[in-house]
């Protein structure tokens, strides 16, 4: 199995877990652990599945929108699954997004969903009252930025640094972008280490789509990738990770960043800069 096939397989396993556990038709609300077990998984995975049950309805259908790599070792992985839930109550149908950090491990020769969270997830940035900041309100209102519900929550509760929001706003001047995850739903550490990620302190976002095309589907020789990554640096990002190597300071690529572009900011560090800039 090629590296690409292996990544596709573990994403399939993570997505299948989310869809199976997050879909039910009952006369009453399901007991979370019973629902996990009825879907064919160990009851211990109820902690991973907990966000799915915030859809408080007797009938829910869950479909994966985008599975993004959150971390990878030869035997363990994190997949950040963005899913959409269709929630039915009587004749009313509502839609909500949910973002889960699904951990996996190798068992024999196959990937399985794991209840072991190692390293543990950090608590993340605090929730602050008062609603979104001015920069946050601009992002929430922008027609050029699609936000998952988890990212909207992070913006509305001031969990994201205004300097990071400003970088996203600047990128949106030249591109239509979709944000997959910021703080909520991200592992929070630089997997598999215990070192805090900028996501855990509200200073990073992951971009899943540029101008309507998912990062995973953009040809690696398409200049859009390099141009976007360089523009993120020019907007002030100190770290920019993506599917390709950009020569210069602050850029990186690896197996985990083949399906999204990481845009982060570390105070005190100079912005990333490409050699050709």
Q: What is the CATH number of the domain that holds 48?
A: 3.10.450
pLDDT for position 28: 82
pLDDT of residue 139 exceeding 70, the answer is yes
pLDDT for position 24: 95
pTM for the whole thing?
0.95
Give the model's confidence band at 159: pLDDT under 50 very low, under 70 low, under 90 confident, else very high. very high
Same domain, 86 and 173: no
Same domain, 139 and 102: no
Domain that holds residue 75: 3-113
pLDDT of residue 266 exceeding 90, the answer is yes
**Mean pLDDT (the chain, rounded):** 95
Do 222 and 254 contact (CB within 8 A), yes or no? no
CA distance 114 to 75: 11
pLDDT of residue 73 exceeding 80, the answer is yes
Q: How far apart, in Å, do the first and last CA atoms of the chain sit?
A: 39
In a domain, 214, yes or no: yes
**Around Cβ 117, how many Cβ atoms within 10 Å?**
13
pLDDT tens-digit profile of 100-124?
Answer: 999 999 999 899 999 999 888 898 9
Residue that terminates a domain, selected from 63, 84, 113: 113
In a domain, 124, yes or no: no
Same domain, 68 and 98: yes
pLDDT of residue 3 exceeding 80, the answer is no
The domain tally of the chain equals 2
pLDDT for position 2: 62
In a domain, 252, yes or no: yes
Same domain, 152 and 60: no
The CATH number of the domain holding residue 182 is 3.30.1380.10
């Amino acid at each position: 199995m090629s590296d690409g096939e292996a990544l596709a397989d573990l994403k399939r396993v993570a997505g299948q877990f989310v869809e199976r556990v997050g879909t039910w038709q009952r006369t009453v609300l399901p007991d979370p652990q019973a629902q996990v077990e009825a879907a064919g998984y160990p009851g211990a995975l109820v902690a991973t599945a907990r966000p799915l049950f915030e859809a408080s309805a007797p009938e829910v259908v869950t479909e994966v929108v985008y599975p993004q790599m959150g971390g990878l070792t030869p035997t363990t992985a994190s997949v950040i699954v963005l899913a959409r839930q269709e929630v039915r109550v009587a004749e009313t149908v509502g839609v909500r997004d949910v973002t889960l950090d699904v951990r996996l491990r190798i068992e024999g020769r196959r990937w399985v969903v794991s209840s072991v969270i190692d390293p543990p997830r950090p608590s993340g940035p605090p929730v602050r009252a008062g609603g979104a900041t001015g920069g946050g309100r601009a992002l929430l209102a922008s027609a050029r930025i699609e936000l998952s519900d988890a990212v909207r929550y992070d913006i509305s509760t001031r969990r994201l640094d205004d300097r990071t929001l400003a970088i996203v706003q600047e990128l949106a001047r030249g591109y239509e972008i979709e944000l997959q995850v910021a703080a909520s739903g991200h592992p929070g550490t630089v997997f598999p280490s215990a070192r805090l990620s900028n996501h855990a302190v509200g200073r990073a976002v992951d971009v899943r789509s540029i101008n309507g095309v998912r990062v995973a589907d953009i040809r690696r020789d398409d200049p859009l990738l390099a141009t976007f990554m360089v523009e993120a640096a020019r907007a002030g990002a100190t770290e920019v990770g993506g599917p390709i190597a950009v020569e210069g300071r602050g850029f990186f690529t690896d197996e985990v960043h083949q399906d999204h572009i990481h845009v982060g900011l570390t105070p005190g560090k100079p912005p990333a800069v490409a050699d050709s800039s």
